[in-house]
Structure 1
């Protein structure tokens, strides 16, 4: 088992997961990513919902420093 900081828990598969309500979820993958953030639409499996899409409000200049875009 490997815990990805800010991401899923990776376990060696194949697996059968039994959730709190008694439902069994199966995966035959070699490595299975289990959701740790509870945002997944495929819970208990990770669908990368933990990743946030962040819009850049600044653009880097030639030296890599961030500058505000001209309006």
Structure 2
């Protein structure tokens, strides 16, 4: 990815009991160093480990939190 002075800084924010949001100019790599495609400047990364679209969040954590299931 290329950057210039007009690009906003990358911001990473972890939400309690939720995903990690990444905003701005970034490159997401898998465990082998290959780029993970994304089509947005903001993505949510899964922290609960139960997402069907890992490493991206699919909202599964909200169901787990409602049921009180943290395992």
- TM-score surpassing 0.5? yes
Question: How many residues are aligned here?
Answer: 55
Q: Which residue of 1 aligns with 2:60?
A: 49
Shift of 1:21: 4.0
Q: Which residue of 2 aligns with 1:64?
A: none
Which sections of structure 1, spanning at least 5 residues, go unmatched? 56-71
Shift of 1:13: 4.1
Q: TM-score when scaled to structure 1?
A: 0.61
Name whichever structure is richer in helix by fraction: 2
Larger radius of gyration: 1
Residues in 2 aligned to 1:33 and 1:44: alpha-carbon distance in whole angstroms: 9
What RMSD in Å do the two structures reach over aligned CA positions? 2.1
**Could you list the runs of 4 or more consecutive aligned residues of structure 1 that deviate by over 4 angstroms after TM superposition?**
none
Q: TM-score when scaled to structure 2?
A: 0.61
Name whichever structure is richer in strand by fraction: 1
Which sections of structure 2, spanning at least 5 residues, go unmatched? 1-11
